[in-house]
Amino acid sequence: MNAWQRFRSSYLLYSFKRDPVAVLSFSVFFFLVTVAFLAPVIAPYNPYDTTAFDILDGEIPPSWMEGGEKHFWLGTDIQGRDLYSTMLYGLRTSVIIGLGAVIFQSIVGIVIGMMSGYLGGRVDSFFMRVADIQFSIPYLIVAIIASAVFQLAFGVGRFEQLAMPLLILIIGMSEWPKYARTVRASVLGEKNKEYVEAARVIGLNSRLIMFRHILPNTMTPVLVISTIQVAQAVMSEAALSFLGLGMPITKPSLGSLINAGFEYVFSGSWWITFFPGLLLVIFTLVIILFGDWLRDVLNPKLYKG
């Protein structure tokens, strides 16, 4: 059977279909991601287009409230941008950074973890020392400081231009040790198994053994931590943007929107913070719920083989 057929008949899919929480959270997640990527198509306005909005339209409440206007469904922000459209684009930004950062940290972490676990010796000591050092400082502080340093180094303007890839890099670098450690532990466990010895006896080189034979067997723990990491990356980006160290207000993410709306919460324009906040919470929540389910399903069963 090929991989797809194996998946279709797997226990994983079976228990997925039977668990309402898993199905619901995955569907919502999938829906939100799709909507986010279709933002340019769906959104009634383009928030990046500075000619499309007018500051006189600022702070209009949601359409169902007094003073609201029909074409601004959820109201507008302080600069007159349609909140709904800006939120969609913001979601897209969050998704890209979240997934991008996780892909980055997982690739770096997996490669280092594999080399560390398989080659052992000095390579292992070196990388694990580095990981230990990075582990002593919480990922968020690393990200915040890195961000601050980049902002000072590049100046605010240039930083804004490079914000998205920079954030992916920063958030990615702050969490690779987690992947490295997990993979390394897995590799250490697999290294002594017979199929590895068999491969060595046949004469396969290290790289081949590492990536084609051992790697697939270490994917389970990687998968389990990846979902949480995506949620964490999204929240880290939101936090950075909220502090002004992330996405700028011209290309806002959900975090920067919340930040922008913060001062206006008390003067009555609560929606600018509320709706992006709500969207962020829902998005993070479904990722976490799905991750929880995935972890429960993968944990005892697959470790037994």
Partner 1 sequence: MFAFIVRRIIQSILVMLVISFVGFSVQHSIGDPVRDMVGIRVSAADREALRDKLGLNDPFWIQYVRFLKNALHGDLGTSYFHSKPTMDVILSKAPATLELVFGSSIIILVFTFPLGIYSALKPRSWLSRFVMGASTVGVAVPVFLTAIALIYVFGVELNWLPAYGRGETVNVWGWDSGMLTLDGIKHLILPSVALSSIMLPLYIRLIRSEMMEVLETEYIKFAWAKGLHRSRIWFVHAFKNTLLPVVTVFGVEIGILFAFTLLTETVFQWQGMGFMFLEAVERSDTALLVAYLMVVGGMFVVINTLVDIVYGFINPMVRIAGAK
Asked if 32 is part of the footprint of partner 1 (rule: CB under 8 A), the reply reads no
Asked if 173 is part of the footprint of partner 1 (rule: CB under 8 A), the reply reads no
Asked if 298 is part of the footprint of partner 1 (rule: CB under 8 A), the reply reads no
First to last CA, the chain: 18
Cα(192)–Cα(208) distance, integer angstroms: 16
Q: Which residues within the stretch 210-269 sit at the binding site for partner 1 (CB under 8 A)?
A: 231, 235, 238-239, 242-245, 258, 262, 265-266
Cα(174)–Cα(235) distance, integer angstroms: 13
Query: Is residue 90 within 8 Å of 82, Cβ to Cβ?
Result: no
Q: Pick from 144, 171, 173, 249: which binds partner 1 (CB under 8 A)?
A: 144
Q: Pick from 277, 279, 293, 297: which binds partner 1 (CB under 8 A)?
A: 277
Comparing CB distances to partner 1, the nearer of 183 and 238 is 238
Query: Is residue 240 within 8 Å of 142, Cβ to Cβ?
Result: no
Which residues, in sequence order, are bridge partners of residue 90?
none
Which residues, in sequence order, are bridge partners of residue 76?
82
In the bound complex, what is the minimum distance in angstroms from residue 231's beta carbon to partner 1?
Answer: 7
Structure tokens at 107: 């690739």
Structure tokens at 35: 């909507």
Q: Pick from 83, 89, 273, 294: which binds partner 1 (CB under 8 A)?
A: 273
Query: Is residue 272 within 8 Å of 78, Cβ to Cβ?
Result: yes
Comparing CB distances to partner 1, the nearer of 38 and 278 is 278
Q: Which residues bind partner 1 (CB under 8 A)?
A: 129, 132-133, 135-141, 144-145, 148-149, 151-153, 231, 235, 238-239, 242-245, 258, 262, 265-266, 270, 273, 277, 280-282, 284-285, 288-289, 292
